[in-house]
Amino acid sequence: MIEASIGALSNLIPVFAVASILVAAPVCLLTRAKQKPVIATTLWSVSLVGVLAVTLTPGGVGIVESGTVCYLGPSLTGLLSTTPGKLNVLLFVPVCFFGVCAFRRPLGVFVGGLLLTAGVELLQSLLPLGRSCTYSDLAANALGCGIGVLCGVAWQAFKKRKPLFGLRDVWQSGLALVIGGAAVSAIFHFGVTPVYGGQEAVGATAAQEEWARSVAAQVYGADADVVQVQQREVMPGFPGKLDVTTDKGSLILLWPDRKIQKAFSMNDKDDAGTLSPGESRKYAEKFAEKWYADEIEGSEVTFGPLAKGKAPYVLSYRRMAMSIDITVTSSGRITDVDAQLVEDSKSS
């Protein structure tokens, strides 16, 4: 949602500015005539316009599908580790905060916020806006609604204004949630297809980052500077992975399996070492035994120069669909790794 909004920035700003003026002016006059909170209500209307402008202004960078789909993105925890995820939460905080300040009905505002975010994702799925409906965005927006309502209640308490929590508010809010939620859920269930859009990179946990840095030091040396560690969470058909970027190369690690799937060195040339081919092979074999002890058992092994009979060399393991290729220089430095690990591929 946020990425597409950035792509639509040239259209978003004028749309928001014009719509805000057209909406805020009559809202201000109407609330003043009815002796309602003018500032809070006007800011609520502008916040609502902002949400609609950010989420529904055609962006042109979303994933365009022939059918109506909604993507199953990363978990809420993973999404919140990213800047777009945090922005998705913040997007719905003002409209719910000012809604509570204007109407003093926290339950009604919260239910309205939930239906608003569900409706937005639904429209992003149904309309050709260049936007992508994502269930993880819906969860982040709902969290923002909750935060906004709580902040509004806290502000009302600070100003010594009692929010309305009467039976009427509970009844009306509950009825709106049941009817609106049922309608939106039915449309999502019968009209929108949930699909896996692939793994999105999100922030790594402390344990993941610690292990990834350890692996980078083992592969590239203790002086390797780790620039970034991101995780791609486990999804159906996709194993969990860590993407590690260093100043000497990059790694793709399997998590929680703790295996190296791929390693790429920026310097993949031979370094004119003094090791013989047999000695270089021992370094590659030691690496394989450390990281793939179970996988290489019973496999076919080949070793040879990468090209023209000169170093670097490639140590390869093959067993059915499993393949591991390890490139080593004449100084024993591992430059590249490509491991296609397949479960239950051992010969009986």
Identity of the highest mean pLDDT range in 140-144, 163-167, 238-242, 252-256 = 140-144
301: confidence class by pLDDT, cuts 50, 70, 90:
very high
Report residue 31 as tokens.
């609330």
pLDDT exceeds 70 at position 161:
yes
Mean pLDDT, range 36-59, rounded to an integer:
90
pLDDT in tens, 319-340: 888 999 999 999 999 999 999 9
pLDDT exceeds 70 at position 67:
no
The b/e string for 302-341 (b: 16+ C-beta within 10 A; e otherwise) is ebeebeeeebbbbbbbebeebbbbbbbbbbbbbbbbbbeb
d(CA 342, CA 257) in angstroms, rounded, equals 12
Which range is least confidently modeled, 11-15, 134-138, 191-195? 11-15
DSSP strand pairing (259-265 vs 300-307): unpaired
Residue 260 contacts residue 219 (beta carbons within 8 Å): yes
pLDDT exceeds 70 at position 291:
yes
Residue 179 contacts residue 121 (beta carbons within 8 Å): no
For residue 216, the number of C-alpha atoms closer than 13 Å in the C-beta half-sphere is 24
Residue 129 contacts residue 59 (beta carbons within 8 Å): yes
Mean pLDDT, range 95-116, rounded to an integer:
94
Strand pairing partners for 259?
A: 254
345: confidence class by pLDDT, cuts 50, 70, 90:
very low
In Å, how far from its chain's centre is CA 46? 28
Pick 338 or 240 by higher pLDDT.
338
Residue 281 contacts residue 303 (beta carbons within 8 Å): yes
Identity of the residue numbered 239: P
Strand pairing partners for 325?
A: 316, 338
d(CA 95, CA 103) in angstroms, rounded, equals 12
Q: How far is CA 135 from CA 140, 194, 204, in A?
A: 9, 9, 21
Residue 192 contacts residue 68 (beta carbons within 8 Å): yes
At residue 64, the 3 state secondary structure works out as coil
- Please tell me what DSSP assigns to residue 117: H
83: confidence class by pLDDT, cuts 50, 70, 90:
confident
* Percent of the chain topping pLDDT 70: 89
Report DSSP letters for 4-53, one per residue: HHHHTHHHHHHHHHHHHHHHHHHHHHHHHHTT--HHHHHHHHHHHHHHHH
Report residue 83 as tokens.
């800047």
Residues 6+ apart with CB under 8 A from 105: 163, 164, 169, 173
pLDDT exceeds 90 at position 91:
yes
pLDDT exceeds 80 at position 153:
yes
pLDDT exceeds 70 at position 2:
no
For residue 68, the number of C-alpha atoms closer than 13 Å in the C-beta half-sphere is 13
pLDDT of residue 73: 73
Which CATH architecture best describes the domain 267-347? Roll (3.10)
pLDDT in tens, 195-225: 765 556 677 788 888 999 999 999 998 899 9
pLDDT exceeds 90 at position 7:
no
d(CA 106, CA 91) in angstroms, rounded, equals 18
**Phi (first) and psi of residue 282, to 5 degrees:** -60, -35
d(CA 20, CA 14) in angstroms, rounded, equals 10
pLDDT of residue 94: 97
Mean pLDDT, range 16-35, rounded to an integer:
90
pLDDT exceeds 50 at position 313:
yes
DSSP strand pairing (193-195 vs 69-71): parallel
Mean pLDDT, range 267-274, rounded to an integer:
87
* Percent of the chain topping pLDDT 90: 50
Pick 6 or 128 by higher pLDDT.
128
pLDDT exceeds 50 at position 346:
no
pLDDT of residue 61: 46
pLDDT exceeds 90 at position 244:
yes
Report residue 264 as tokens.
């790429």
pLDDT of residue 117: 95
Summary mean pLDDT of the chain: 86
Which range is least confidently modeled, 173-177, 234-238, 292-296? 234-238
